[in-house]
Every structure is written in structure tokens, then in C-alpha cells.
Amino acid sequence: MSNPMNNREMAATLFNIATLLRDRQDNPFRIRAYENGARALMGRRSDVVAPLRQQDALLPHRKGVLGERLQRKLQELARTGEMAYFQDILADLPPYMAALMSVPGVGPRTAQRLHENLGIETPAELADAARSGRLRSLHGFGPKRTEQFGQLSLFEEETGHAHTRN
């Protein structure tokens, strides 16, 4: 199993799925289900990861917010750190998108902007851009966010582990 997840990271995965589905003009109801699921996770005060890992029972929820199929996908994500459905969507993207989205805090829109504006295609290139200050030229990449990407990349180099969640 990969690193422990939390509600926020699970929600980020759902938001990323919704964005990618919207980009390919998928079913609007499916898109909304992922967005609503992400919002529901963000709004929960208690951690949902532990209960999802330990039981087959579904989480208590308001009707229509976390449907059974979505909860089964969340159980898979909580237990393994990955969701096959999300991996299938990523497989249909250009390789740079999936590579950049493996960095925490980089979703589909950010990955596209990094590629279009700076030609960045890998987490290592993102780290180089953060360290050299090139990243600061993009709107939304201030000192805090740039430093965050630099620190994450240093951690990956020291441990040899890349972050694989969003």
C-alpha cells in the first residue's frame, strides 16, 4: 500500500477525474457525481480513509452525494492508494500530463499550463523550474508554491520515492 491518504487527497483525485471527464465531454451527471463526491469528502470533519479501508459497508451519507459505485472506487483508493478508473483515464492522456499529475498539487489544468508555457514534461523538469525561478514567471506560482515543489523534489531524490497521488 502506498502512503496513507486523507480526505483532501481523495477529494483531489475526484476533482481531477471530474476535470478530465469534462475535458473529454463525458456524461454531465458522471462529472457532477465526482465533483459532489469531492465536495462531500472536503466537508467531512472525520477521516473517511480508515473506515473505507477496514470495512465493506458504505459510509453514511446524504442521499445522492456518495453513491455506491463511487464509494467502491474510494474504498479501492483508500486500500491501495490508487484507483483503476483514474489510472485508465490517465493512460489516455499524453505522457507528460500523467507524469506531472503524479506531483501533489498538480492537477490537469496546472499540468497543461506548465507544459504549454514552460515546456515542462516531467516532475524533474518541474523541480528544475522551481529551483531556477522559471516557475515564478507563471501566474499562480508564487514563492510558497514554488518552494513547495522544490522541497518535494528534494525529498524524492533523497528517498528515491516519487509521489504518485494528486
Q: Is the pTM of this model over 0.85?
A: no
pLDDT of residue 28: 95
Question: Which residue, among 104, 102, 121, has the nearest Cα to 164 in the 3D structure?
Answer: 102
Higher pLDDT, 150 or 109: 109
pLDDT in tens, 47-99: 877 777 776 656 666 555 677 888 889 989 988 888 999 999 999 999 999 99
Long-range contacts of 19-22 (CB under 8 A, 24+ apart): 19/107, 19/108, 19/109, 20/89, 20/93, 20/108, 21/89
Angle CA 127–122–19, to nearest 5:
105
Q: Which fold has domain 93-159?
A: DNA polymerase; domain 1 (1.10.150)
Name the segment(s) of the chain with CATH classification 1.10.150.110.
7-90
Query: Would you call 69 exposed, middle or buried from its count of C-beta atoms within 10 A (0-12, 13-18, 19+)?
Result: exposed
Enter the CATH code of domain 7-90: 1.10.150.110
